[in-house]
Amino acid sequence: MGLTGIQIFKLLPKTNCKECGVPTCLAFAMNLAAGKAELASCPYVSEEAKALLSEASAPPIRPLAVGSGENVVKVGGETVLFRHEKTFVNKPGFAVLVSDTLPEAEATARLKRFKELKYERVGLTLRPEMVAVKNESGDAGKFETLVKKVKSETDAALILMSGSVEALTAAVKASADRVPLIYAATDGNSDALAALAKEHKCPLAIKADNLEDLSKLSDKLTAAGLKDLVLDSGSRTVRKAFEDQVFIRRAALIKKNRSLGFPTITFPCEMTKDPMKEALIASAFVAKYAGIVVLSDLHGESLFPLLVERLNIYTDPQRPMMMQQGIYPIGNPGENSPVLITTNFSLTYFIVSGEVESSRVPSWLLVMDTEGLSVLTAWAAGKFVGDAIGAFVKKSGITEKVKHRRIIIPGAVAAVSGDLEEELGAGWEVKIGPREAAHVTAYLKVNA
Ligand code: SF4
């Protein structure tokens, strides 16, 4: 259990200096107890108090990382039950299962799909990040060979699954630089796997038949010095597994139960044989509250919706999704191609750029930073008005890419054209494009 606000308050300097951003030490203590503040915000806490407060100030669900390099998967670190309270922190990792009993060709095909199924959306690359390598053959050598194959052919963060300590030891040694997740310590093998995880500084998944036993195992391993644990409640029916996810999150956040204050791993792949049902189950765990979701295979028609769902749920609801300001060429444009300008609200960008692509008229799309506001909202807020747009166009570098001096503004912002022409100066022509961004295709076909 974490400390209460009053217990934390007793350890603070009690000067009410306000440097932490709240008016009193008591308010800071209450925020710290609720996981809404960080201890580092108070520069005057003594070292002794820091040590005592570190537990209370830690996120209620421990953040940890699986993998290394660019494709490291961070999980945990969550502080709220619902995303409208505050953003969720670390999106769940998607893993594809590859067993050492699969025919070589099928294993290779799954890894190929793992590498190829990537999607660009709102300026981000959406993709699965993990491969769960499973030792079903019982052959440690076969398992190690498959782990090496996955490691050499992909950049995946690895989950090493075996019931054999010997097989896991060899596989961890072969992939320790990838910081794999070792799966799974149980009551019977926890001492050996704890030693393996400690030796190689790898996170360790723990599995039990129920939450009570899982808590006991977590306490035992925490007492042994392990910090990076991932919980598997052992449930393989949808209803029970879902209940467990909610129970674990609520216990960690509301009851401040440190035994269950770790990210979880879920296995939709073991709950059905129907691929579409599996995707539906996975989608429930994305929303509540998996740290890792293991899928039996990857198919675009089910993976893409899951990736988009994950993106939407783990996007900060208080900040609009934005594109980078800049020049976006569409369809290999040249020096006579039309130039359009719009705001950097992601949805606006994707509607306009999609329309330009559909028109098949190669074009330059200027995206202006309006702090993520859409065209009309930005115009109303004074961020997408003639002089601001003119200043951006002049410094954007577009004049080095085109010979003409015409610019098209899709959207109902006719009011900006006069100011914009004045700002840009003689020789420039401002065309107000179609009123609706969705009519850009037709506009370009006729006017470009
Ligand atoms: Fe109190 Fe520290 Fe905040 Fe100052 S910075 S008000 S001492 S908690």
Q: Is the pLDDT of residue 249 over 50?
A: yes
Mean pLDDT of 292-316: 95
Cα(17) to ligand 1 centroid in Å equals 5
What pLDDT does 415 receive?
Answer: 64
Say if ligand 1 is within 6 A of residue 360 CB.
Answer: no
Helix and strand numbers, DSSP H then E, in the chain? 16, 17
Query: What is the sign, positive or negative, of the torsion defined by CA atoms of 333, 335, 336, 341?
Result: positive
Say if ligand 1 is within 6 A of residue 8 CB.
Answer: no
Q: For residue range 361-409, list pLDDT tens digits in order.
A: 999 999 999 998 888 888 888 898 888 999 999 999 999 999 999 988 8
**Arithmetic mean of pLDDT over the chain:** 92
Query: CA-to-CA distance for 195 and 185, rounded, in angstroms?
Result: 11
Q: For residue range 277-294, list pLDDT tens digits in order.
A: 999 999 999 999 999 999
Please check whether residue 129 is in contact with residue 262, taking contact to mean a CB–CB distance below 8 angstroms: no
Which residues lie below 8 Å from residue 96, measured CB to CB, with a gap of 6+? Answer: 110, 113, 114, 128, 130, 131, 132, 294, 295, 296, 297, 298
Which residue, judged by its Cα, is nearest atom 2 of ligand 1? 42
Which residue, judged by its Cα, is nearest atom 4 of ligand 1? 17
DSSP 76: -
Which residues lie below 8 Å from residue 199, measured CB to CB, with a gap of 6+? Answer: none
Say if ligand 1 is within 6 A of residue 17 CB.
Answer: yes
Determine which helix (DSSP H) or strand (DSSP E) holds 429, and give its type and residue range. Answer: strand 429-432
Q: Is the pLDDT of residue 58 over 80?
A: no
Ligand 1 atom closest to the CA of 15, numbered from 1: 7
Q: Is the pLDDT of residue 1 over 60?
A: no
What pLDDT does 418 receive?
Answer: 73
Kindly state the tokens that stand for 262: 């770790």
Cα(37) to ligand 1 centroid in Å equals 12
Which residues lie below 8 Å from residue 16, measured CB to CB, with a gap of 6+? Answer: 23, 24, 25
Say if ligand 1 is within 6 A of residue 13 CB.
Answer: yes
Say if ligand 1 is within 6 A of residue 18 CB.
Answer: yes
Say if ligand 1 is within 6 A of residue 25 CB.
Answer: yes
What pLDDT does 433 receive?
Answer: 75
